Amino acid sequence: MMKKLVVVLAVISILACSRSSDVELEKKTMFTLPYGVLDDELTPLADAKVAMNDGFFYIIDSSLAKMMKFNSYGDLLLLQYNQEKNPIQILVHKNVENTPSNKAAVPFPYIEPTQIAVTDDQAFFVADTLPDEETMWSTEFSCMLTNTVHCFDKQGKLICDMGQEGRAGTTPFSRITRLETTDNRHLVVHTQTPKGQVIYWFDSNFRLLYSVLADSSILPQEETENHIVDIDSMAASREQPLLFIKAEYYTEKGEDIDFNKSTVYCYDLELGKCIWSIDIPVAETLYQLLGVYGKDQIFLVSPDDNDTYNLLILDGEKSIAANTPLAFGHKDIQLLELSLGSHGIITALISYDDEVSAVWWRSDKLLKEE
C-alpha cells in the first residue's frame, strides 16, 4: 500500500521578528525576447537558464545550444552558438561594413549547455554535456560522468575546460545541477549522483580546494536519527568557504510519513562539519532555497498562489531579515528560471504566450540598514 504523505503544519509567527513584511517588491521587466531561432530569440518552452551581474544578463538556450549576453536594455552583446543547430544568417554579422559594433557572434561547439554563472568582472562559466566518446563510468558514485565546465573571460574567450581535478582535470563531472561564483572569483560546482549531491569548490586559478559528498552523514547525527532526511538543495556563501544545506525531516508513523521540520545547516568546508543551523518557518508550501547573498543571508521562496511567491530572507543563524510577497503580476505565465544575482537582486525568465520577459526584483533593498 502506498504510503500517504501527511504534512503537519505548525503555527509559527514569522512576522514578529521580521524587519520587512508589508512592502510588496515591484517586478521590473528589463527586456523581452521573442520566440524563435534567431540570435536574440528563445526556443518556445526552452530549457533556459539565466545569470545576472551588474545589469548584464547571460541566458542559455539548451535546445539551440547557445549562450546570449544582453545589457539591461536587451541589446545583444555576445552570442556563442553551435553552428550545426543555429541558422547561418546570424544577425550580429549584418552590421553595415566598417561600422563599429560592440556585438560579437562566436561559433562554439556547445552540445547541451545547462547551467551558467558569472563573476563580478564578467568572466563566466557554462556547464555542458560531453561527446559520448569523452564520458566515463564512475565506480565511486555508480553513474556516468558526462559533464564539463567551460571557463570564459569577459570577452567570451575560452580559458579552459574543467574536470573534477580543476583546470587540467581529466575526470568529467556527473550531471551538473548548479554553478555558483563567489566574491573572490571562486567557482562552486554542484553535481548529482545516486549516492547524493557532490560539491566541488575551485579557486580563481581553477584549482580544487574542497570536495564533499553532501548526504545525510554530514549532518548532526543526533538530529537525523530516527528520521527520513531529504537534502533537496544547497548554496554557497559568497564570502567564505561555507556551504548551506537545506534538509527536510520526515517521520514514519505506521503507513503515514509526517513532515517534521525544514532546516538550513551551515557547513564549514575547512572544518568539515556543520557549525550552526536554523529552522525554516513552516508554510503551506515548502520553501525552496534560492541562494545566499554575502556571507550568510539565506534567500528562500515559496509559491503562494498563481501569481505570487513569498520571499523569506534568513539573517544567518540570528533572525528573519525579510518576509515579503514576490509578485509576478500575471496568472497566465510559466516561470522558466528564477535566480539570485551577486548583489542580492532576484532575476527571472518568465514565459508568456508570445515572448519571454527578463525581469528583476530589487530584493537587495530589503537588506539595507535602516
pLDDT in tens, 182-210: 999 999 999 999 999 999 999 999 999 99
Q: What is the mean pLDDT of residues 34-63?
A: 90
- CB of 43 within 8 A of CB of 65? no
Cell numbers standing for residue 38: 534567431
Nearest to 54 by CA among 152, 132, 121: 121
What mean pLDDT comes out for the span 263-286? 91
Residue type, 132: D
Work out the widest C-alpha separation in the chain, in whole angstroms.
Answer: 76
What kind of fold does domain 4-16+45-283+334-343 have according to CATH? Neuraminidase (2.120.10)
How confident is residue 330, by pLDDT bands cut at 50, 70 and 90? low
Sequence-separated (6 or more) residues with CB below 8 Å from residue 100: none
H-helix segments, 216-354 = 221-224
Pairwise pLDDT comparison (89 vs 42), residue with the higher score: 42
326, pLDDT greater than 50:
yes
Q: What is the pLDDT of residue 89?
A: 62
Distance CA 19, CA 1 (A): 46
pLDDT on residue 121: 92
Q: Tell me the pairing of strands 76-81 and 104-107.
A: parallel
Instruction: Tell me the backbone φ, ψ of residue 264, rounded to 5 degrees.
Output: -105, 125
Nearest to 151 by CA among 128, 177, 120: 128
Q: Is the pLDDT of residue 122 over 80?
A: yes
- Asked if pLDDT for residue 98 goes beyond 60, the answer is no
Write the pLDDT tens digit of every residue in 218-235. Answer: 999 888 888 899 998 999
pLDDT over 60 (residue 133)? yes
Q: What is the mean pLDDT of residues 317-333?
A: 77
pLDDT at 20: 46
Q: Is 216 helix (H, G, I), strand (E, B) or coil?
A: helix
> Residue 342 pLDDT > 80, yes or no?
no
Question: pLDDT band at residue 18, thresholds of 50, 70 and 90?
Answer: very low
150/325 Cα distance (integer angstroms) = 36
Lowest mean pLDDT among 75-84, 98-107, 131-140: 98-107
Mean of the per-residue pLDDT values for the chain?
86
Average pLDDT over residues 252-259: 84
Three cell numbers written together for 350: 518568465
Whether the predicted pLDDT of 69 surpasses 60: yes
- Mean pLDDT, to the nearest integer, of 278-305? 88
Q: What does DSSP say about strands 158-162 and 147-152: parallel, antiparallel, or unpaired? A: antiparallel
Residue 65 is predicted with a pLDDT of 95
CA dihedral 156→161→164→168, nearest 10 degrees, is -130
- Asked if 149 and 175 count as a contact pair (C-beta separation under 8 A), the reply is no
Domain boundaries, the chain: 4-16+45-283+334-343
User: Per-residue pLDDT for 289 more than 90?
Assistant: yes
CB atoms within 10 A of CB 50: 22
User: What pTM, to 2 d.p., does this model score?
Assistant: 0.89
Residue 93: φ, ψ to 5°: -85, -10
Q: Is 56 helix (H, G, I), strand (E, B) or coil?
A: strand
